[in-house]
Amino acid sequence: MAVITRRTITPEKLTFKQLAKVILLFKGISPEYKEECCPSFKIRETAIQQLIGQSLSLENRADLVREFNLLGWEVAINPEYWLVFTVPNVHNWHEVGQWLPYSVTENFQRGIAPCSRDLCQKLGISVNEVAKFYGYSEEKIRDELVCEAYDCADEETQEEFDETGDESLFDIEEGTQLPIDTFSYWQYLDFYLATKGLNRKAPLF
């Protein structure tokens, strides 16, 4: 009598190459699928985790992104989705990394924010414009200028102002800017990104 031995089949884990292909399969069979010149889709990371039965490490993400790249897709990951898309003529894109000034990168490497004054001069940023961006009224700007002038004035002028409250003692002309150190380098940078549309979710004027 023949003895039947049952073979145990050890389930194989998906490789990241296979995982990328399975995700593309889901793209192809989804009801909304249609052929496009530059196709794109999104998938939640939780859906990817369900396919492999575990959460993704940073290394896992990098491996999966690499497999998508090898299949001709680009990937961007945000807190909600994996965005998978194709881009024609990537070689024509503007590359910014080659234009980083050495002085700026050196400061960042040392953990120091670059000089706010240099940034404002280079980008033509007005301190008072930045103040308005952060909610300063004309009156508040004027008050700040008076306080700054008071601190720089001699004792006699300070005493006279204390007695009279006469702001004309400080000769603050129209258009006088707040001190550059009123805001940090990062606040100036946030202002620039918002006004140039580079921070796509920033509140504008």
Range 150-174 average pLDDT: 81
Residues 185 and 127 in one domain: yes
Angle at 25 between CA 23 and CA 28, to 5 degrees: 115
102, pLDDT greater than 70? no
- Please tell me whether the overall predicted TM-score, pTM, comes out greater than 0.75 for this model: no
Asked whether residue 201 is assigned to any structural domain, the reply reads no
Residues 124 and 182 in one domain: yes
Asked whether residue 204 is assigned to any structural domain, the reply reads no
34, pLDDT greater than 70? yes
Indicate the pLDDT class of residue 105, thresholds 50, 70 and 90.
Answer: confident
Asked whether residue 202 is assigned to any structural domain, the reply reads no
Asked whether residue 6 is assigned to any structural domain, the reply reads no
Residues 105 and 173 in one domain: yes
Range 12-23 average pLDDT: 90
Asked whether residue 142 is assigned to any structural domain, the reply reads yes
pLDDT in tens, 49-69: 999 999 999 999 999 999 999
The count of domains in the chain is 2
Indicate the pLDDT class of residue 205, thresholds 50, 70 and 90.
Answer: very low
Site of tokens 């039947």: 4
Angle at 185 between CA 142 and CA 146, to 5 degrees: 15
Query: Do 167 and 98 meet the contact criterion of CB atoms below 8 Å apart?
Result: no
Q: Which of 66, 92, 118 corresponds to the end of one domain? A: 92
Q: Which of 92, 113, 136 corresponds to the end of one domain? A: 92
6, pLDDT greater than 70? no
In angstroms, the CA 98 to CA 90 distance is: 16
Residues 106 and 34 in one domain: no
Asked whether residue 5 is assigned to any structural domain, the reply reads no
Average pLDDT, the chain: 85
Q: Which of 92, 112, 141 corresponds to the end of one domain? A: 92
pLDDT score, position 4: 58
Give the β-pairing of 40-43 and 74-77.
Answer: unpaired
Range of the domain at 26: 16-92
Task: List the single range of 47-51, 115-119, 127-131, 180-184 with lowest mean pLDDT.
Answer: 115-119
